[in-house]
Structure 1
Amino acid sequence: MMMQDDKPSRFDRLVVAHVMETQVQVAHPHTKADVIASMMIEGFGAVPVVDDQKRLIGIVSEHDLLVSLDRKQKWSEVTAQDVMARNPYSVRPEMEIGTLVHVLRASGLIRVPVVDAHDKLIGIVARRDVLRAYLSDGSTTGSVSTEA
Protein backbone atom coordinates (compact mmCIF):
# COMPACT_ATOMS: atom_id res chain seq x y z
CA MET A 1 0.00 0.00 0.00
CA MET A 2 2.77 2.41 -0.91
CA MET A 3 1.93 6.00 -1.71
CA GLN A 4 2.63 7.43 -5.15
CA ASP A 5 5.97 8.92 -4.02
CA ASP A 6 7.05 5.48 -2.70
CA LYS A 7 7.28 6.73 0.87
CA PRO A 8 5.53 4.42 3.29
CA SER A 9 2.38 5.86 4.78
CA ARG A 10 1.76 5.88 8.50
CA PHE A 11 -0.64 2.99 7.91
CA ASP A 12 2.10 0.87 6.32
CA ARG A 13 4.21 1.25 9.46
CA LEU A 14 1.50 0.06 11.85
CA VAL A 15 1.64 -3.24 13.69
CA VAL A 16 -1.16 -5.21 15.35
CA ALA A 17 -0.41 -3.63 18.75
CA HIS A 18 -1.40 -0.23 17.30
CA VAL A 19 -4.87 -1.33 16.21
CA MET A 20 -5.92 -4.16 18.54
CA GLU A 21 -8.54 -3.90 21.25
CA THR A 22 -7.07 -4.62 24.68
CA GLN A 23 -10.31 -4.65 26.70
CA VAL A 24 -11.47 -8.15 25.86
CA GLN A 25 -14.14 -10.16 27.64
CA VAL A 26 -12.97 -13.73 28.11
CA ALA A 27 -14.51 -17.04 29.07
CA HIS A 28 -13.02 -19.95 30.94
CA PRO A 29 -13.54 -23.62 30.04
CA HIS A 30 -16.51 -23.98 32.43
CA THR A 31 -18.25 -20.69 31.53
CA LYS A 32 -21.82 -21.48 30.49
CA ALA A 33 -22.93 -20.81 26.93
CA ASP A 34 -25.70 -18.44 28.03
CA VAL A 35 -23.11 -16.24 29.76
CA ILE A 36 -20.93 -16.29 26.63
CA ALA A 37 -23.91 -15.32 24.45
CA SER A 38 -24.56 -12.35 26.75
CA MET A 39 -20.92 -11.28 26.37
CA MET A 40 -21.28 -11.39 22.59
CA ILE A 41 -24.38 -9.23 22.61
CA GLU A 42 -22.53 -6.59 24.64
CA GLY A 43 -19.17 -6.85 22.87
CA PHE A 44 -17.49 -8.95 20.20
CA GLY A 45 -18.94 -11.71 18.03
CA ALA A 46 -16.41 -14.15 19.42
CA VAL A 47 -15.18 -14.74 22.95
CA PRO A 48 -11.66 -16.08 23.62
CA VAL A 49 -11.39 -18.91 26.14
CA VAL A 50 -8.39 -18.79 28.48
CA ASP A 51 -6.97 -21.00 31.20
CA ASP A 52 -6.07 -19.88 34.72
CA GLN A 53 -2.78 -18.38 33.45
CA LYS A 54 -4.66 -16.34 30.79
CA ARG A 55 -3.25 -18.53 28.01
CA LEU A 56 -5.49 -18.79 24.95
CA ILE A 57 -6.97 -22.30 24.66
CA GLY A 58 -10.00 -21.72 22.45
CA ILE A 59 -12.57 -19.33 21.08
CA VAL A 60 -16.37 -19.42 20.96
CA SER A 61 -17.96 -17.71 17.95
CA GLU A 62 -21.53 -16.80 17.14
CA HIS A 63 -21.42 -19.69 14.68
CA ASP A 64 -20.46 -22.12 17.46
CA LEU A 65 -23.47 -21.02 19.49
CA LEU A 66 -25.78 -21.35 16.47
CA VAL A 67 -24.56 -24.92 16.02
CA SER A 68 -25.36 -25.53 19.68
CA LEU A 69 -28.89 -24.17 19.17
CA ASP A 70 -29.34 -26.35 16.10
CA ARG A 71 -28.39 -29.36 18.23
CA LYS A 72 -31.12 -28.36 20.73
CA GLN A 73 -28.56 -27.95 23.54
CA LYS A 74 -29.57 -26.00 26.63
CA TRP A 75 -27.10 -23.19 27.07
CA SER A 76 -27.45 -23.35 30.84
CA GLU A 77 -25.93 -26.84 30.60
CA VAL A 78 -23.33 -26.25 27.86
CA THR A 79 -19.88 -24.86 28.67
CA ALA A 80 -17.25 -23.08 26.62
CA GLN A 81 -15.15 -26.23 26.40
CA ASP A 82 -18.14 -28.05 24.88
CA VAL A 83 -18.55 -25.64 21.96
CA MET A 84 -15.24 -23.80 21.53
CA ALA A 85 -12.86 -24.13 18.63
CA ARG A 86 -9.66 -25.42 20.21
CA ASN A 87 -6.22 -24.00 19.47
CA PRO A 88 -7.57 -21.04 17.49
CA TYR A 89 -5.46 -19.05 15.09
CA SER A 90 -3.81 -16.11 16.83
CA VAL A 91 -1.40 -13.32 15.95
CA ARG A 92 1.37 -11.51 17.79
CA PRO A 93 1.33 -7.78 18.59
CA GLU A 94 4.44 -7.08 16.49
CA MET A 95 2.88 -8.46 13.27
CA GLU A 96 2.87 -5.83 10.51
CA ILE A 97 -0.54 -4.55 9.46
CA GLY A 98 -0.01 -5.71 5.86
CA THR A 99 0.56 -9.26 7.06
CA LEU A 100 -2.57 -9.04 9.22
CA VAL A 101 -4.60 -7.90 6.20
CA HIS A 102 -3.34 -10.94 4.27
CA VAL A 103 -4.13 -13.29 7.18
CA LEU A 104 -7.67 -11.94 7.56
CA ARG A 105 -8.34 -12.17 3.83
CA ALA A 106 -6.81 -15.62 3.33
CA SER A 107 -8.42 -17.18 6.39
CA GLY A 108 -11.85 -15.57 6.16
CA LEU A 109 -11.58 -14.72 9.85
CA ILE A 110 -13.42 -11.64 11.08
CA ARG A 111 -11.42 -11.24 14.26
CA VAL A 112 -8.38 -12.95 15.71
CA PRO A 113 -6.96 -13.10 19.25
CA VAL A 114 -3.61 -11.44 19.95
CA VAL A 115 -1.19 -13.31 22.21
CA ASP A 116 2.24 -12.62 23.65
CA ALA A 117 5.29 -14.89 23.41
CA HIS A 118 3.84 -17.09 26.19
CA ASP A 119 0.45 -17.50 24.45
CA LYS A 120 -1.20 -15.22 26.99
CA LEU A 121 -4.15 -13.31 25.57
CA ILE A 122 -3.39 -9.59 25.37
CA GLY A 123 -6.05 -8.41 22.91
CA ILE A 124 -8.19 -9.07 19.89
CA VAL A 125 -8.08 -7.50 16.45
CA ALA A 126 -10.91 -7.37 13.94
CA ARG A 127 -11.29 -6.40 10.31
CA ARG A 128 -13.01 -3.18 11.38
CA ASP A 129 -9.95 -2.22 13.47
CA VAL A 130 -7.83 -2.37 10.31
CA LEU A 131 -10.38 -0.35 8.34
CA ARG A 132 -10.58 2.26 11.12
CA ALA A 133 -6.78 2.56 11.20
CA TYR A 134 -6.63 3.04 7.44
CA LEU A 135 -9.30 5.74 7.46
CA SER A 136 -7.65 7.60 10.33
CA ASP A 137 -4.21 7.40 8.68
CA GLY A 138 -4.64 10.76 6.98
CA SER A 139 -2.58 9.71 3.97
CA THR A 140 -5.48 8.45 1.90
CA THR A 141 -6.18 10.32 -1.28
CA GLY A 142 -9.63 11.19 -2.43
CA SER A 143 -12.69 11.55 -0.32
CA VAL A 144 -15.10 9.20 1.30
CA SER A 145 -18.56 9.36 -0.21
CA THR A 146 -21.68 8.46 1.71
CA GLU A 147 -23.89 8.50 -1.37
CA ALA A 148 -25.30 5.21 -2.66
Structure 2
Amino acid sequence: MTSEVVQAHPDTPFKELARLFTSHRIGGLPVVDHDDKVMGVVSRTDLTERQAAHPPGSARQRILRTVRRLARARPARVPAVTARELMTSPAVTVHPEQRVVDAARIMERRHIDRLPVVDEEDRLIGITTRRDLLRVFLRTDEEIRSDVGDAVSVHVPAHGAGHVRVDVRDGVVTMAGRLRPDADASVLVRAAWRVDGVVGVVNRLANGRGADHADQGGTPLLHSAG
Protein backbone atom coordinates (compact mmCIF):
# COMPACT_ATOMS: atom_id res chain seq x y z
CA MET A 1 0.00 0.00 0.00
CA THR A 2 0.90 3.68 -0.26
CA SER A 3 0.83 5.26 3.19
CA GLU A 4 0.74 8.90 2.03
CA VAL A 5 -2.84 9.17 0.78
CA VAL A 6 -4.47 12.06 -1.06
CA GLN A 7 -7.86 12.37 0.60
CA ALA A 8 -10.95 14.54 0.76
CA HIS A 9 -13.60 15.41 3.33
CA PRO A 10 -17.38 15.28 2.85
CA ASP A 11 -17.57 19.06 2.31
CA THR A 12 -14.69 19.23 -0.21
CA PRO A 13 -16.14 21.05 -3.25
CA PHE A 14 -16.23 19.76 -6.81
CA LYS A 15 -13.57 22.20 -8.03
CA GLU A 16 -11.11 21.18 -5.32
CA LEU A 17 -11.66 17.50 -6.11
CA ALA A 18 -10.88 18.17 -9.76
CA ARG A 19 -7.71 20.01 -8.74
CA LEU A 20 -6.58 17.10 -6.55
CA PHE A 21 -7.10 14.59 -9.33
CA THR A 22 -5.17 16.71 -11.82
CA SER A 23 -2.28 17.84 -9.62
CA HIS A 24 -1.63 14.38 -8.14
CA ARG A 25 -2.43 12.45 -11.35
CA ILE A 26 -4.73 10.02 -9.58
CA GLY A 27 -8.00 8.43 -10.57
CA GLY A 28 -9.73 8.36 -7.18
CA LEU A 29 -9.42 9.19 -3.52
CA PRO A 30 -11.04 8.25 -0.21
CA VAL A 31 -13.38 10.58 1.65
CA VAL A 32 -12.77 10.62 5.42
CA ASP A 33 -14.54 12.20 8.38
CA HIS A 34 -12.95 14.28 11.16
CA ASP A 35 -11.70 11.07 12.80
CA ASP A 36 -10.02 9.76 9.60
CA LYS A 37 -12.65 7.05 9.21
CA VAL A 38 -13.41 6.22 5.59
CA MET A 39 -16.90 7.32 4.52
CA GLY A 40 -16.64 6.67 0.80
CA VAL A 41 -14.56 6.97 -2.37
CA VAL A 42 -14.71 9.54 -5.17
CA SER A 43 -13.31 8.82 -8.63
CA ARG A 44 -12.67 10.88 -11.77
CA THR A 45 -15.61 9.06 -13.32
CA ASP A 46 -17.92 10.41 -10.59
CA LEU A 47 -16.91 13.96 -11.55
CA THR A 48 -17.26 13.48 -15.29
CA GLU A 49 -20.64 11.78 -14.92
CA ARG A 50 -21.87 14.69 -12.80
CA GLN A 51 -20.75 17.19 -15.43
CA ALA A 52 -22.34 15.16 -18.21
CA ALA A 53 -25.64 15.08 -16.30
CA HIS A 54 -25.64 18.85 -15.73
CA PRO A 55 -23.75 20.63 -18.54
CA PRO A 56 -23.54 24.43 -18.45
CA GLY A 57 -26.08 24.82 -21.27
CA SER A 58 -28.57 22.19 -20.10
CA ALA A 59 -32.27 22.73 -20.55
CA ARG A 60 -32.81 22.78 -16.80
CA GLN A 61 -30.37 25.64 -16.29
CA ARG A 62 -31.79 27.62 -19.22
CA ILE A 63 -35.26 27.33 -17.68
CA LEU A 64 -33.99 28.49 -14.29
CA ARG A 65 -32.29 31.51 -15.86
CA THR A 66 -35.48 32.40 -17.72
CA VAL A 67 -37.60 32.16 -14.57
CA ARG A 68 -35.19 34.36 -12.64
CA ARG A 69 -35.07 36.94 -15.41
CA LEU A 70 -38.85 37.12 -15.66
CA ALA A 71 -39.20 37.43 -11.91
CA ARG A 72 -36.44 40.07 -11.88
CA ALA A 73 -35.10 38.38 -8.83
CA ARG A 74 -31.51 38.17 -7.76
CA PRO A 75 -30.20 34.71 -8.68
CA ALA A 76 -30.22 32.41 -5.70
CA ARG A 77 -26.88 31.08 -4.52
CA VAL A 78 -26.57 27.48 -5.68
CA PRO A 79 -24.73 25.28 -3.14
CA ALA A 80 -21.49 23.82 -4.48
CA VAL A 81 -21.45 20.12 -5.29
CA THR A 82 -19.36 18.35 -2.66
CA ALA A 83 -17.63 15.01 -2.16
CA ARG A 84 -20.54 13.88 0.01
CA GLU A 85 -22.86 14.01 -3.02
CA LEU A 86 -20.40 12.40 -5.42
CA MET A 87 -18.82 9.61 -3.38
CA THR A 88 -19.65 5.93 -3.49
CA SER A 89 -20.58 4.85 0.00
CA PRO A 90 -19.96 2.72 1.96
CA ALA A 91 -16.41 2.30 0.72
CA VAL A 92 -14.94 -1.13 0.01
CA THR A 93 -11.84 -1.40 2.21
CA VAL A 94 -9.15 -3.90 3.20
CA HIS A 95 -6.98 -4.41 6.26
CA PRO A 96 -3.16 -4.38 6.09
CA GLU A 97 -2.82 -8.08 7.01
CA GLN A 98 -5.02 -9.26 4.12
CA ARG A 99 -3.20 -11.06 1.32
CA VAL A 100 -2.47 -9.42 -2.01
CA VAL A 101 -4.40 -12.10 -3.89
CA ASP A 102 -7.50 -11.39 -1.76
CA ALA A 103 -7.26 -7.66 -2.49
CA ALA A 104 -6.94 -8.44 -6.21
CA ARG A 105 -10.07 -10.60 -6.09
CA ILE A 106 -12.03 -7.85 -4.34
CA MET A 107 -11.03 -5.33 -7.01
CA GLU A 108 -12.01 -7.71 -9.79
CA ARG A 109 -15.32 -8.66 -8.17
CA ARG A 110 -16.33 -5.05 -7.40
CA HIS A 111 -14.92 -3.58 -10.65
CA ILE A 112 -12.81 -1.03 -8.80
CA ASP A 113 -9.22 0.15 -9.23
CA ARG A 114 -8.26 1.11 -5.67
CA LEU A 115 -8.86 0.01 -2.10
CA PRO A 116 -8.46 2.16 1.02
CA VAL A 117 -6.50 0.29 3.70
CA VAL A 118 -7.91 0.75 7.20
CA ASP A 119 -6.95 -0.28 10.73
CA GLU A 120 -9.12 -2.20 13.20
CA GLU A 121 -11.12 0.97 13.90
CA ASP A 122 -11.69 1.69 10.18
CA ARG A 123 -9.30 4.65 10.18
CA LEU A 124 -7.46 5.29 6.93
CA ILE A 125 -3.80 4.22 6.97
CA GLY A 126 -3.07 3.76 3.26
CA ILE A 127 -4.38 2.92 -0.19
CA THR A 128 -3.57 0.20 -2.70
CA THR A 129 -4.24 0.18 -6.44
CA ARG A 130 -4.23 -2.37 -9.24
CA ARG A 131 -0.79 -1.08 -10.20
CA ASP A 132 0.49 -1.79 -6.67
CA LEU A 133 -0.82 -5.35 -6.82
CA LEU A 134 0.68 -6.01 -10.25
CA ARG A 135 4.05 -4.82 -8.96
CA VAL A 136 3.91 -7.54 -6.30
CA PHE A 137 3.22 -10.27 -8.85
CA LEU A 138 6.19 -9.12 -10.93
CA ARG A 139 8.65 -10.15 -8.20
CA THR A 140 11.35 -12.56 -9.36
CA ASP A 141 11.34 -16.22 -8.36
CA GLU A 142 14.61 -15.70 -6.49
CA GLU A 143 13.10 -12.88 -4.40
CA ILE A 144 10.11 -15.06 -3.58
CA ARG A 145 12.29 -18.09 -2.76
CA SER A 146 14.38 -16.05 -0.35
CA ASP A 147 11.30 -14.70 1.47
CA VAL A 148 9.62 -18.11 1.61
CA GLY A 149 12.81 -19.59 3.05
CA ASP A 150 12.86 -16.93 5.76
CA ALA A 151 9.16 -17.41 6.52
CA VAL A 152 9.43 -21.20 6.71
CA SER A 153 12.59 -21.16 8.83
CA VAL A 154 10.70 -19.36 11.59
CA HIS A 155 8.39 -22.38 11.94
CA VAL A 156 10.88 -25.19 11.29
CA PRO A 157 12.13 -25.72 14.89
CA ALA A 158 8.63 -25.82 16.39
CA HIS A 159 7.23 -28.09 13.70
CA GLY A 160 10.03 -30.58 13.45
CA ALA A 161 11.39 -30.14 9.95
CA GLY A 162 14.89 -31.53 9.74
CA HIS A 163 15.30 -30.07 6.27
CA VAL A 164 12.91 -28.23 3.96
CA ARG A 165 13.86 -27.55 0.35
CA VAL A 166 12.16 -24.57 -1.30
CA ASP A 167 12.00 -24.13 -5.08
CA VAL A 168 10.06 -21.45 -6.96
CA ARG A 169 9.07 -21.35 -10.60
CA ASP A 170 6.79 -18.68 -12.07
CA GLY A 171 5.56 -17.81 -8.58
CA VAL A 172 4.67 -21.42 -7.69
CA VAL A 173 6.45 -22.60 -4.54
CA THR A 174 7.40 -26.27 -4.11
CA MET A 175 8.41 -27.41 -0.63
CA ALA A 176 9.95 -30.83 -0.02
CA GLY A 177 11.54 -32.40 3.03
CA ARG A 178 11.14 -34.61 6.07
CA LEU A 179 9.00 -33.66 9.08
CA ARG A 180 8.52 -35.34 12.45
CA PRO A 181 5.58 -37.77 12.53
CA ASP A 182 3.59 -35.35 14.70
CA ALA A 183 4.46 -32.23 12.67
CA ASP A 184 1.83 -30.13 10.87
CA ALA A 185 2.91 -29.34 7.31
CA SER A 186 -0.06 -27.00 6.83
CA VAL A 187 1.65 -24.42 9.06
CA LEU A 188 4.58 -24.24 6.63
CA VAL A 189 2.23 -24.12 3.64
CA ARG A 190 0.33 -21.16 5.14
CA ALA A 191 3.63 -19.39 5.85
CA ALA A 192 4.59 -19.73 2.19
CA TRP A 193 1.20 -18.43 1.01
CA ARG A 194 1.66 -15.22 3.02
CA VAL A 195 4.70 -14.20 0.96
CA ASP A 196 3.97 -11.54 -1.66
CA GLY A 197 4.07 -12.84 -5.23
CA VAL A 198 3.23 -16.47 -4.41
CA VAL A 199 0.54 -17.80 -6.76
CA GLY A 200 0.59 -21.47 -5.73
CA VAL A 201 2.13 -23.84 -3.19
CA VAL A 202 3.00 -27.47 -3.95
CA ASN A 203 3.36 -29.53 -0.77
CA ARG A 204 5.86 -32.39 -1.03
CA LEU A 205 6.59 -32.38 2.67
CA ALA A 206 6.20 -35.76 4.34
CA ASN A 207 6.26 -37.09 7.87
CA GLY A 208 8.88 -39.62 8.94
CA ARG A 209 9.91 -42.20 6.35
CA GLY A 210 7.41 -40.94 3.81
CA ALA A 211 9.72 -38.04 3.01
CA ASP A 212 11.97 -40.25 0.89
CA HIS A 213 9.02 -41.28 -1.27
CA ALA A 214 7.77 -37.71 -1.59
CA ASP A 215 11.16 -36.45 -2.77
CA GLN A 216 11.27 -39.16 -5.44
CA GLY A 217 8.31 -37.86 -7.38
CA GLY A 218 5.19 -38.49 -5.32
CA THR A 219 2.05 -36.80 -6.58
CA PRO A 220 2.17 -33.15 -5.41
CA LEU A 221 -0.80 -31.62 -3.66
CA LEU A 222 -1.64 -28.12 -4.87
CA HIS A 223 -3.06 -25.91 -2.10
CA SER A 224 -5.24 -23.17 -3.49
CA ALA A 225 -5.97 -19.82 -1.86
CA GLY A 226 -9.59 -20.82 -1.50
The equivalent residue for 2:2 is 21
Structure with the higher fraction of residues in helix conformation = 2
Identity fraction in percent: 33
The CA distance in 2 between the partners of 1:95 and 1:48, in whole Å, is 19
Larger fraction in strand: 2
Secondary structure at the counterpart of residue 99 of structure 1: helix
Name the SS of the counterpart of 1:85 in structure 2: coil
Say whether 1:59 aligns with 2:41.
yes
Structure 2 residue corresponding to 1:97, chosen from 86, 89, 100: 100
Structure 1 residue identity aligned to 2:130: R
Distance apart, 1:49 and its partner CA: 0.5
Distance in 1 (CA, whole Å) between partners of 2:117 and 2:50 is 26
TM-score by length of 1: 0.75
Instruction: Please name the residue that 2:123 is paired with.
Output: 120
Comparing both chains, which one has the higher relative contact order based on Cα–Cα distances under 8 Å and sequence gaps of 6 or more?
1
Q: Equivalents in 2 of 1:112, 1:28: separation in Å?
A: 17
User: What's the CA shift string for 1:28-87, capped at 9, x where partnerless?
Assistant: 11111111111112242111100000000011111110121012278x821111111111
2:93 aligned counterpart, secondary structure = coil
Residue 82 of structure 2 aligns with an amino acid whose one-letter code is T
Unaligned 5+ runs, structure 2:
57-78, 142-168, 171-226
Task: Give the AA of the match of 1:83.
Answer: L
> What is the RMSD computed on CA atoms of the aligned residues?
1.8
Answer with 53-62 or 103-112: which moved more: 103-112
Alignment partner, residue 106 of structure 1: 109
Unaligned 5+ runs, structure 1: 1-19, 142-148
Q: One-letter code of the match for 1:98?
A: V
User: What's the TM-score, normalizing by structure 2?
Assistant: 0.50
Counterpart of 1:84?
A: 87
Structure exhibiting the larger radius of gyration computed from Cα positions: 2
